[in-house]
Structure 1
Amino acid sequence: MSNYSKTHALMQRGREFLGTEHAILCGAMSWVSERNLVSAISNAGGFGVIACGAMTPELLDTEIAETKARTDKPFGVNLITMHPQLFDLIAVCGKHGVGHVVLAGGIPPKGSVEAIKEFGAKVIVFAPTLALAKKLLRSGGDALVIEGMEAGGHIGPVSTSVLAQEFLPVLSEDHLVFVAGGIGRGEAIAGYLEMGAVGVQLGTRFACATESIAHPDFKKAFFRAGARDAVASVQVDPRLPVIPVRALKNKGTEEFTAKQREVAGLLDSGAVEMAEAQLQIEHYWAGALRRAVIDGDIENGSLMAGQSVGMVKEEQPVADIMTQLMDESEAALSRR
């Protein structure tokens, strides 16, 4: 086994918190972060996280059971705070003795953190601002992920490097902070660890792993793409709010912009009411991620990807990706 003494020393608190060999989380990617990829990440010494997304409690129950059948290592579950059955999903995690629950997509509703703590699990939270981070950590968050706008999927407006400089000097001594967004190589991991992070989270780098069930055409789109192909969705009209999502540009992203213009025109002419107009925009991408990941419709589906996509060049087993990242980090720290 390779000697990662320098990297492991800086990751020590993160490794103890996760119960893993390496403090590397795999970001929860809907349709991608399921039993196969999650168990492979955990078996390779990292920390896999099931993306619950819009799953029903019954589906999550099966997914956790199937993941446990494939690994005896720790893994977590990512729950969306706006899910209408959030407390039922938390109960499913409790039933299976899940050790870590990640709450994403908004401020955790009242009682949710307490419900998770009740069965002894740790709570991992996201925060886009320092003030909110402090509040969530005071309210029971055991660890924090700061994610920059280079990440794939739903993003905030600030880059990873700026967030790291803002959050880590203030929080890293007393709290566990993981850094995410645009990380594709071990040198970057080493840099954030030296700044005070206890570990990192990567998504895009693992999306096309051999163990990922993503469609071959989805993976090929990643291999062809460069960093500037992963663009944030554009909001055409302030009356029609669009939550920024980073994905590879394709026919679907172009048509979404055209759709916004069309709906804004209908709104101007009085042909539709505001609520109906906003609903049309909101529903445009319904099912688009599944179309891309599972069906391989790379023209009309949503190819959510971070800007590190340019570093994803081929299909590799998770274990090889993990070894490469750790080797690069250790080499970088040894050169210091």
Structure 2
Amino acid sequence: MNTLLNVLSIKHPILQGGMGNISNSILTAAVSEAGGLGTIGAGTLTPDEVEAIIIDTKKRTSKPFSVNVAINVTPYTKEILRLVVKHEVPVATLSAGNPTPYISKLHEHGVKVVTVVASVKQAKKAEDAGADVIVAEGYEAAGINSNLETTTLTLIPQIVKNVNIPVVAAGGIADGKGLAAMLVLGASGVQMGTRFIATKEAPFHPIYKQKIVQATDHDTVIVGRSVGRIRRVLNTSYSQKLLQLEQEGTTLETFNQLTSEDYHILGAIEGKEDQGFMNSGQISGLIDDIPTINELLTQIMNEAKTEINKVSHLL
């Protein structure tokens, strides 16, 4: 069985999660240059916008990166996948929908396919459809999450037990200890989102970065439960406004409008915490610095090796 590193042609078993409409070439390229797999999140960006980011990313790095297509979110799934093929992007990440219709076509053009799942059932279907790598995401993660609310700790070993392709753990990972833990649970690597926000290269608002650095273990909240659209965000005045609307009986339509990517940009890019939301995983309470991407990946790999060696004598 091919390892994750061989399948994706990367140095470190660390993937960057897609970040919707705040995706950019700077962060994507920096992660890939440091040996991980950078990812452009197409979100609801137009094909022209996605193409511009792909072109700029290729100018910044010659190393592999991915384009994440949220199938049931974007109205441009086929158009964006055509761009992946056109620009010879080596990896496509498919999430939020059924990847089956697209995998074989991407394989025809030599594109590796990563699929994001939240259950054993979804993982087995993805493997049967021909996925090369599975990202299994627990509900500790930032942003839109599965209504199943399964934790990463319980999800990973169950999925690993039921599939034969590399499994990447996502949700609740920000350091080498997290990587070591997931490897012991059977994962082949990890995917991180929140940890990459608080880095020097990430072109997000300083207020957003500082709120993650200053966060405690209970500074994220879940919004959207009442309308079946679970999203984990930082606990800000805007997220409290959303929770209040839910208590008053808001509709799915209103909730979707107030958590659209426009409000994501207001929070994450413009730093207007009272006018827009800031996605953040539970792991934010463990983040206390803003390193470069290269420093971060080097630190994670060294720490993972140290921690595994540290406990080996206990066995």
- Asked if 1:95 is matched to 2:69, the reply is no
What SS does the corresponding residue of 2:107 show, helix, strand or coil?
helix
1:68 alignment partner, one of 58, 63, 73: 58
Query: In the alignment, what sits opposite 2:9?
Result: 19
Q: Is the 8 A contact 1:205 1:311 kept in 2?
A: no
1:242 alignment partner, one of 228, 231, 235: 228
Q: Distance in 2 between matches of 1:46 and 1:235?
A: 33
Q: 1:281 Cα shift? A: 2.5
For residues 282 and 234 of structure 1, do their structure 2 counterparts lie closer, same or farther at Cα, with a shift above 3 Å needed?
closer
What SS does the corresponding residue of 1:88 show, helix, strand or coil?
helix
Q: Distance in 2 between matches of 1:132 and 1:56?
A: 28
- Asked if 1:189 is matched to 2:175, the reply is no
Give the alignment of 1:192-203 within 5 angstroms: 192-203=182-193
1:280 alignment partner, one of 238, 241, 254: 254
2:154 alignment partner, one of 162, 165, 168: 162
Q: 1:95 Cα shift? A: 0.5
Moved more, 208-217 or 118-127: 118-127
Q: 1:33 Cα shift? A: 3.5
Q: 1:234 Cα shift? A: 4.7
Q: Is the 8 A contact 1:32 1:207 kept in 2?
A: no
- Asked if 1:113 is matched to 2:108, the reply is no
Q: 1:227 Cα shift? A: 2.3
CA root-mean-square deviation: 1.7
Q: Distance in 1 between matches of 2:186 and 2:178?
A: 13
Q: Is the 8 A contact 2:133 2:165 kept in 1?
A: yes
TM-score (norm 1): 0.87
What amino acid is aligned across from residue 267 of structure 2 in structure 1? A
Q: Distance in 2 between matches of 1:98 and 1:234?
A: 34
Where does structure 2 lack aligned partners over 5 or more consecutive residues? none
Q: Is the 8 A contact 1:15 1:21 kept in 2?
A: yes
What amino acid is aligned across from residue 279 of structure 1 in structure 2? E
What amino acid is aligned across from residue 170 of structure 1 in structure 2? N
What amino acid is aligned across from residue 186 of structure 1 in structure 2? G
Q: 1:185 Cα shift? A: 1.6
Question: What whole-Å deviation, never above 9, does each CA across 1:58-94 have from its counterpart, x for those lacking one?
Answer: 1111110100000111111101112222111110110
Moved more, 176-185 or 190-199: 190-199
Higher Cα Rg, which structure: 1
Q: 1:253 Cα shift? A: 1.5
Question: What whole-Å deviation, never above 9, does each CA across 1:99-129 have from its counterpart, x for those lacking one?
Answer: 1100011222x63223322311011112222
TM-score (norm 2): 0.93
Query: In the alignment, what sits opposite 1:274?
Result: none
What amino acid is aligned across from residue 285 of structure 2 in structure 1? G
What amino acid is aligned across from residue 286 of structure 2 in structure 1? M
Q: Distance in 2 between matches of 1:257 and 1:203?
A: 23
Q: 1:150 Cα shift? A: 0.7
Q: Distance in 2 between matches of 1:34 and 1:234?
A: 27
Question: What whole-Å deviation, never above 9, does each CA across 1:156-186 have from its counterpart, x for those lacking one?
Answer: 3010000012112232xx2111111100221
Query: In the alignment, what sits opposite 1:268?
Result: none
Q: Distance in 1 between matches of 2:97 and 2:16?
A: 20
Query: In the alignment, what sits opposite 2:298?
Result: 323
Q: 1:221 Cα shift? A: 1.2
2:245 alignment partner, one of 236, 245, 259: 259
Q: Distance in 1 between matches of 2:215 and 2:233?
A: 11
Query: In the alignment, what sits opposite 1:228?
Result: 218
Q: 1:49 Cα shift? A: 0.6
Q: 1:31 Cα shift? A: 4.2
Question: What whole-Å deviation, never above 9, does each CA across 1:286-326 have from its counterpart, x for those lacking one?
Answer: 21110011111122311100111112212210011111101
Query: In the alignment, what sits opposite 2:268?
Result: 293
Query: In the alignment, what sits opposite 2:27?
Result: 37
